[in-house]
Amino acid sequence: MQIIIVGGGKLGNTLALRLIQEGHNVTMIDRSEAVIQKSMDTLDAMFIKGSGISVDTLKEADAAHADIVIAVTMSDEVNMLSCLTAKRLGAQYTIARIRDPEYLPSMSFLQKELSIDYAINPERATAREISRMLRFPFAGGIETFARGRVEMVDFRASEDDPVVGIPLKEMYRKNRQMPQVLFCAVERRDEIIIPKGDFVIQAGDRVHVVSDVQTITRFFSALGKGMSTIRSVMLMGGSRIAYYLASMLLNMRMKVSIIEVKPDKARQFSEMLPGATIIQGDGTDQELLESEGLADTHAFVTLSDRDEENLMAGFYATQRKVKKVIVKSTRDTYSAIMHEMGLDSIISTMAVACNDILRVVRSRSSRSFAAVERMYRLMDGQAEALEFIAQSGDTFIHIPLKDLQIIPDALIAVIVRDGQVKVPFGNDTIEVGDYVVVISRRPGLSALRQVFR
């Protein structure tokens, strides 16, 4: 596909790299010569210096024949006008990053009037991800598939968990009362494993399981990891994510406090969020955290603009035995360090936005076969969970899974048919219209047929 990216920042570069790896032709537009020069060293793309709202610049990028135009500059207004101009020139599909909360109430109107096919608000999407993570305080992350019917949750196995030390094929025979979920991926130190029947979970493994909502909830209750009630949340950093997240949590009748170091921003948050407690101060100050009741808070979320501050504050909260600690990070290189420090719940706004946009691109590029409906990157991008809808004419329809050859490092995790969620076994088949969730270590899968040899 011919894809134009307007904006060569971190998100634009990450998107370009992933799209190029998946075989798309990418043209990047940016007004900064320095940004373009830096990108040229790492990306096999075409670069144009100019503004995304300039007709001449978009013509030079051949927007008239572009399959998708993605506008992700730091300016919402530039992104919206870039999409409108590109669409008028003939671009087939447009995606805009729109972050300002003031645009949220009129988003549907803006998309219609400005010819924006898909709008993404990374901060709001990140807030939604965090709110999901607060539902399972023990979990590192949670993702939903099949319109919310299927959930994938990861947790760190401990010595006393009944799933430790038993081959997976014998687990349910020895634990007959345990609800059946699929163990779809395991992270053991630096190794990513798609487990088979003889695999044995060890203490310290980060385990990803998937099933329907009711079953997965009962599974964790059986492990003694039932849903702890989160009633109070402390946020560090008065960011846009903090605003969206606090609004969501207040609607859920949670007690919310926000620590912001800048007096003007703290005052602004007091006006915007009258139901929250706003604390003006340094969120890395341990004395301040203690005086504001950190030890009695159920969850602590670091949302400042500095990874180092988020890391240190999050680490201190884990030492103080806060039930749930979530740390925002912009650097993948910090993930390993954070995990070693016991910080299992890490969120990246850029990763959330990138995955969301890639899902849309993949669905647009897979019109003739079972397209990716949803994608979720696991384990710092080393594995993926993908949701497909089986189409008529697929060669694997009606054939038992045991008679199909699945590519290495891939797993059929869940089949959803007529609203019923099923963890599949050898005699199960895929039928037309089924939602199929696949776990794979092979990047770039864009069709369900690619899962089978």
Strand (E) or helix (H) holding 424: none
Among the ranges given (58-72, 198-212, 325-339, 380-394), the one the predictor scored with the smallest mean pLDDT: 325-339
Express as a percent the part of the chain with pLDDT over 70: 94
DSSP 176: T
Instruction: State the Cα–Cα distance between residues 387 and 8, nearest whole angstrom.
Output: 29
Among the ranges given (231-235, 369-373, 416-420), the one the predictor scored with the smallest mean pLDDT: 369-373
Residue 118 has pLDDT above 60, yes or no: yes
**Would you place residue 453 in the very low, low, confident or very high pLDDT band (cuts 50, 70, 90)?**
confident
Query: Contact at 8 Å (CB) between 182 and 212?
Result: no
Per-residue model confidence (pLDDT) at position 369: 42
DSSP track, 83-104: HHHHHHHT-S-EEEE---GGGG
Instruction: State the Cα–Cα distance between residues 221 and 218, nearest whole angstrom.
Output: 5
Residue 291 has pLDDT above 90, yes or no: yes
**For all residues of the chain together, what is the average pLDDT?**
88
**Would you place residue 372 in the very low, low, confident or very high pLDDT band (cuts 50, 70, 90)?**
low
Strands of 383-389's sheet in order across: 372-378, 383-389, 435-440, 410-417, 420-422
Task: Kindly list the structural domains of the chain, giving each domain's residue range(s) and its CATH number in brackets, ordered by start.
Answer: 2-120 (3.40.50.720), 131-222 (3.30.70.1450), 231-322 (3.40.50.720), 369-451 (3.30.70.1450)
Rounded to two decimals, what is the model's pTM?
0.74
Instruction: State the Cα–Cα distance between residues 139 and 148, nearest whole angstrom.
Output: 18
